[in-house]
Chain A
């Protein structure tokens, strides 16, 4: 049985086009290569 109020919480408000640029900064775009480079630099430091 679906609980309407609970389900409604999953629906988040939409942003406007102007928010797209600010969203980029909040968006984590780290990839595996970044993680690999970070690990290698940590290993070198040790």
Chain B
């Protein structure tokens, strides 16, 4: 048993040794819950499933984590054809106890088994269709549909009950009785079955009484003997025989016309109804198959897209690895600028773990030399008045490290832009110098230039 408050495993304590929660009442609840579970188990064994369900629900109201009670409740729902309720209980049970729980086995055999899952869903769909037929007063179709469901799922109690209800409504009491006995065999304690059985028996006894009255009309008692004789009895002669014959023929024709012909017609209608139901079921099955195939197509399209993306990612990863090799080759050959340029274009995310380590080391080694070379080249160009080249080289430095050489790279880049009359970029660089290196001579000069260029740009 676990503490309801902190979940620690308990022995016989009355107070939780971990959190100090009082356990006396909780133990009482657990005890009542177990008692009700045992009662339910006894009832389930004698097939009083309704009684067992009531006890198990009560048991779970005392202790919702009583896994045995919840699993049994699910099992009973499953037995009576209530697949969804069964799966619901097993899912809750598994939520409370993920390990060593029989509910996992039940879920494997139902929710995770495509065949069984489809059977349960089909059964639900057909039952719902039968209910729709009932509400549309198409009882013949409802009976056909229910018979079909019950041939595949003979333990669906509510299916037998609905079938019996239709039979009682139609006055087909024998068939109702048979359906109800099937329901009773699954769940002896079901009050709906009992009520329908009582109703069927009552109606049967009423119709039996009327037949008996008719029978008494041709029977009479003579002393202690009961004499039964045909109603029509008299002297028989040729004319009366001929008349009887004619009447007999007329009655025969009438019976054929009024009873046999409607029967044949009814059979034809019934056959047509069966065909319609079959067609409806086939359409429903086909629709389901189409839906399932569409889902498969969507899943496969997704797979194709993901495979395409994988291929594209792989190509990009190969390109990045190749660029890394180019950078490494340039570094070995002391062409630091080419190595730096190659490293700059590599997307690290596309590289493998080992390649990431290599690029990190290479970057650290290349960057310093690359920055130095670019800075020196930039400054040499700037000092010899080649401002285009200076801006190009210094921009490379600044893009990697804005604060290189205490801001001199950024400041001289601004100067090169100013001399090239690229006012906007020059203003941007001067402002950045002032922002990054406040209270320095560089910032003082930068601010001055920025102000001049700013007012010029405003004009």
Spell out A's residues near B (CB within 8 Å): 1-2, 4, 7-8, 10-11, 13-21, 23-24, 27, 29-34, 36-37
Contact = CB atoms under 8 A, between A and B. Distances in A.
A13 to B, nearest CB: 4
B219 to A, nearest CB: 31
B444 interface: no
Contact of B124 (A8, A14, A27, A37): A14
Contacts of B63: 31-33
B135 A29 contact: no
Interface string B122-144: 01110110010011000000000
B379 interface: no
B91 A14 contact: no
Contact of A33 (B26, B91, B135, B168): B26
Given A8-B134, A24-B88, A14 B64 contact: no
Contact of A24 (B64, B91, B124, B169): B91
B25 A36 contact: yes
Interface in B77-109: 82-85, 87-88, 91-92, 95
Interface string B26-40: 100100000000000
Contact of B29 (A13, A21, A33): A33
Given A2-B168, A17-B117, A36-B25, A11 B158 contact: yes
Q: Please report whether the interface of chain B is mostly helix, strand, loop or mixed according to DSSP.
A: helix
A44 to B, nearest CB: 13
Nearest to B121: A16
Contact of A17 (B29, B92, B121, B128): B121
A33 to B, nearest CB: 5
A24 B5 CA distance: 23
A8 B338 CA distance: 84
Nearest to A7: B165
* A13, A20, A31, A34 — most chain B CB neighbours (10 Å): A20
Nearest to B122: A16
Contacts of B110: 17
A16 B121 CA distance: 5
B128 A13 contact: yes
Contact of A16 (B64, B124, B192): B124
Interface of B: 4-5, 25-26, 29, 60-65, 82-85, 87-88, 91-92, 95, 110-111, 117, 120-121, 123-125, 127-128, 131, 134-135, 158, 161-162, 165, 168-169, 192, 195-196, 199
A23 to B, nearest CB: 5
A17 B168 contact: no
Contacts of B4: 33, 37
A27 B192 CA distance: 24
7 contacts: A11-B158, A14-B82, A17-B87, A17-B117, A23-B88, A24-B88, A24-B91
A14 to B, nearest CB: 4
A9 B196 CA distance: 15
Contacts of B168: 2, 4
B252 to A, nearest CB: 37
Nearest to B95: A24
B113 to A, nearest CB: 10
Given A4-B165, A20-B91, A14 B127 contact: yes
B92 A24 contact: yes
B120 A16 contact: yes
A40 to B, nearest CB: 9
B62 A16 contact: no
A14 B128 contact: yes
Given A8-B134, A16-B125, A32 B62 contact: yes
A14 B123 contact: yes
Given A17-B84, A19-B84, A31-B63, A4 B91 contact: no
Nearest to A4: B169
A43 B284 CA distance: 57
